Amino acid sequence: MKKTFTLLSLVSLSLITYAQDSKLSLDEVTVTATKFAKKSSETGKVVSVISKEEIERNRGKSLSDLLNIQSGLSLNGANSNAGTNISTYMRGAATGYTLILIDGIPVNDPSQITNDYDINLISISMIDHVEILKGGNSTLYGSDAVAGVINIISKKGGDKRLGINALLTAGSYQSYKQNLGLNGKTGNFDFNFSATNENTNGFSSAKNGSDTGEFDNDAFHLKAANLGLGWQSTNTLMIRPFIRYSQTTNMLDYGAFTDDKDYNGRSSDLNTGFTSSLQLPKSLFNFSYAYNDVKRYFKNDSLTGPQEFSLSDTKGQVHNAELFGKFNLSSHIELLTGANYRFNNTDQFSQYISPFYTPPVSKINPDSAKNSISSIYASVFLKNLSGFNFELGGRYNHHSIYGNNFTYTINPSFLIEENVKVFVNVSSAFKTPSLYQLFSVYGNTDLIPEKSSSYEAGFQVVGDATKAKFTFNAFKRNIKDVITFQTDPNTFKSKYVNLNEQNDQGFESEAEYQLFSKLNIKAFYTLVYGKVTNNSISINNLYRRPRNSFGINAGWNAAENLFVSANLKLVGKRTDPFFDPVTFKSQILVLDNYSLLNFYAEYRFVKRFKVFVELNNLLDEQYTEITGFNTRGFNINTGLSFNL
């Protein structure tokens, strides 16, 4: 406790986030809450934005590092060795309940058990800004938007004929990053290109619990390229083709407290398609198509450690097409209506050989492991009716295997004198069974979608001459027909079934205050707790997710060319299920709370060039994210960037 107060005192003196000269208001324009540009004051939903300035000051980090310091988000594995599988928990919801979007289009990996996407494949260098929308949002975004959505907005062409930017970084664990970006605009055509190469020697992912022998370092490598084009074919029609490719390779360990020198993995994603928009005087039409091709390959041909062989080769493809239109029916009424089609397919092969047990080869045939879902949706928006705003929406879905389901959104809000917004959000959401849950050796084609009901209420206040902003939001989420893995105690046969009910609730509070024109402070506190119910037995099961988390940030433009900031995050105690391979017993461990203090400084020695330094885990906190695995201690990262 004394250490916590010491940290808070240090931060109060040195301070944290990103100073802005603009005034705080409820008029920030985002697209994620409604699928089209809309002021925050006109919707009852709360969208958190990671701005372009914040992205630029965190280009030396990973996307998971940046998301992990946001209110209501906990990314387990973000502070572990590079390349660690990231579990994204939004408001305590399990991984797979948060939908990742790139420019409003879902990205999924249908070869994963929970259909979630590996954000290690997304380079932060291709991102312009990020919008985070919490709560059930399946009415607008379909399956998986149970806890919320994270919308990654990519960089576009800009205004110059040709712009060049580059980044070089070097840091602890022999970590190096190089990035080159080109962008430009001429006439009706614009483009943006970026290429990134990252290498780190890392450290041993597994913790050496017995201190017998030396565990080797587990390296990680990322290569990523992104090309986005824009063509303004007429004054009203914009077409934006894109192609993105990323590949990661990394060394792995066998498991908790267990080294492995021959275990390697490789993942890649090809994401291509286009978006188009037609702007008419009283309407907007948007059509998009995207194709995702995700591949993952893992091989363990052990010459040291456990004498086993394992091979996993999985592929997943997604086709996503969507058309929606927004209509201005009057000065107070807007209508959004659209249709969406998604097709998922997977091809999987796995093999395991050991001296003690060799099961049959496992295959999932791509000819049968496929499904599709077709949806139509509509939302009506009432705005500015003497401060009253209202959204009413619904979505009808037809799935090729389980049939039909429906979701809804009811979202009233009231604006008081332009600086207080009170809102309520009642919505439902759903998550379809994954292809693995349907068609693997444990599959069950009788599965139905998981269905949730979400309830939110809160307020936003802007005051003190628009220098302060406060947001409070209480939430409750109930999920029925949760898909779980079940083993028959008599036959010992296992399969996936709809069985459990999950109930989570909590609240979030965020505050921002501009002390001076050059100093900005932000803070948040999140409380979340939940339980799963099975046959009238309830268990607190938010494993690896803290009940309490607190963060404070501040940034200071100390001089014309000098910016400094600090960040503190306090993470409360968590529980972690652990299977002991020695005793063959399972137990629930309690992980201690921890505090991370980070520092950042940048200096522009000429107008277009800057150098920066990041000091992470400044107090060298020793803590655990996952039992049996290491986390990063004190580490440093330095870099040079220019923008011409």
Predicted local distance difference test score (pLDDT) of residue 212: 63
More confident residue, 424 or 4: 424
pLDDT for position 9: 39
Query: Cβ of 597: how many Cβ atoms within 10 Å?
Result: 21
- Does the CA dihedral 604-609-613-614 come out positive or negative? positive
In this predicted structure, what is the pLDDT of residue 590? 96
Structure tokens at 489: 């105690």
**Whole-number percent of the chain with pLDDT over 70:** 95
Q: What is the distance in angstroms between the CA of the first residue and the CA of the last residue of the chain?
A: 48
Distance CA 92, CA 24 (A): 29
Residue 19 has pLDDT above 50, yes or no: no
More confident residue, 291 or 235: 291
pLDDT in tens, 131-166: 999 999 999 999 999 999 999 999 999 888 999 999
Residue 299's contacts (CB-CB under 8 Å, 6 or more residues apart) are 263, 264, 265, 310, 311, 312
pLDDT mean across residues, the chain? 92
Please compute the mean of the pLDDT values over residues 304-327 and round it to a whole number.
91
Q: What is the pLDDT of residues 431-454, one digit of tens each?
A: 999 999 999 999 999 999 999 999
Q: Give pTM, 2 decimals.
A: 0.94
CA distance 254 to 306: 8
Average pLDDT (608-627) is 96
For the chain, give the number of residues.
644
Q: Residue 15 — pLDDT band, cuts 50, 70, 90?
A: very low
User: By C-alpha distance, which of 6, 153, 149 is closest to 72?
Assistant: 149
Domains of the chain: 2-531+566-643 (2.40.170.20)
Task: Give the pLDDT confidence of 76-101 residue by residue, as tens digits.
Answer: 999 999 999 999 999 999 999 999 99
DSSP assigned state of 120: G
Task: Count CB-CB contacts under 10 A for residue 317.
Answer: 19
Three-state SS annotation for 41-103? HHCCCCEEEECHHHHHCCCCCCHHHHHCCCCCEEEECCCCCCCCCCEEEECCCCCCCEEEEEC
Q: Which of 285, 59, 35 is closest to 169 using CA atoms?
A: 59
Q: Which two tokens stand for residue 623?
A: 């803590």
- All residues at 6 or more sequence positions from 604 whose CB lies less than 8 Å from its CB, including other chains: 561, 562, 610
Best CA proximity match to 576, nearest among 622, 531, 526, 626: 626
3-state DSSP assignment of residue 530: strand
Is the separation of the CB atoms in 595 and 569 below 8 Å?
Answer: yes
For residue 304, the model assigns a pLDDT of 58
Q: Would you call 626 helix, strand, or coil by DSSP? A: coil
pLDDT at 537: 85
- Dist CA 48 CA 135 (whole Å): 12
The predicted-structure confidence for 169-227, as pLDDT tens digits, reads as follows 999 999 999 999 999 999 999 999 999 999 999 999 999 977 667 899 999 999 999 99
State how far the alpha carbon of 102 is from the alpha carbons of 67, 107, 138, 237, 271, in Å: 15, 7, 16, 21, 10
Q: How far is CA 557 from CA 17, 24, 69, 600, in A?
A: 11, 18, 21, 12
* 353 to 263, 274, 308, 350, 584: CA distances (angstroms): 14, 44, 6, 10, 20
Q: How far apart are CA 161 and CA 159, in angstroms?
A: 7
Q: Is 436 helix (H, G, I), strand (E, B) or coil?
A: helix
Instruction: Determine the Cα–Cα distance for residues 447 and 67; give it in Å rounded to an integer.
Output: 32
Residue 574, exposed/middle/buried by CB under 10 A (0-12, 13-18, 19+)? buried
| CA dist 376 → 73, 322, 404, 638 (Å) | 30, 10, 12, 49
% of the chain surpassing 90 pLDDT: 81
Q: List beta partners, residue 106.
A: 101
CB burial of residue 60 (10 Å; 0-12, 13-18, 19+):
buried
Contact 448, 479 (CB under 8 A): no
Q: Is residue 477 within 8 Å of 148, Cβ to Cβ?
A: no
pLDDT tens string 469-487: 999 999 999 999 999 999 9
Residue 8's pLDDT band, with cuts at 50, 70 and 90, is very low
For the record, the structure tokens of 47 come out as 């969208």
Q: At residue 356, does pLDDT exceed 60? A: yes
